[in-house]
Amino acid sequence: QVQLVESGGGSVQAGGSLRLSCVASGVTHSRNCVGWFRQTPTTLREGVAAFWTVDGTSSYIDSVKGRFTVSQDTAKKTWFLQMNDLKSGDTATYYCAVGTCLKRTLLQSTEYNYWGQGTQVTVSS
């Protein structure tokens, strides 16, 4: 059983930065993708960024390209989402997830089996 715990959310002004962390416990070696998703009370959960462990590929939605970066500390089974130049539209609850993906499905939530509890990110303009 895989358990994921996110941290690092908070409130920042537009233009600020946050780094989210996701720590995994349990067996993860059979999973090949780590994704970051976000959701608000009025929107569906959307894939923001993801990392494919097969070859180190990263994938991002267009709205965060150049601002968000995923990284990992494999030894500590920890993944990070560095978020820079935050905008009010980035306000959401952010979730990390682990799954088994194809390279072309990295941002599809249906590919992910295990989810963290979420961490709130609020960006004020």
Give the DSSP per-residue string, 68-99. Answer: EEEEEEGGGTEEEEEE-S--GGG-EEEEEEEE
Question: Cβ(67)–Cβ(83) under 8 Å?
Answer: yes
Q: What is the mean pLDDT of the chain?
A: 94
List pLDDT tens digits, range 89-119.
Answer: 999 999 999 999 998 999 999 999 999 999 9
Torsion sign, CA atoms 71, 111, 41, 65: positive
CA 125/CA 122 separation, integer angstroms: 10
Of the candidates 78, 69, 71, the one whose C-alpha atom is nearest the C-alpha of residue 28 is 78
Residue 36 pLDDT class (50, 70, 90 cuts): very high
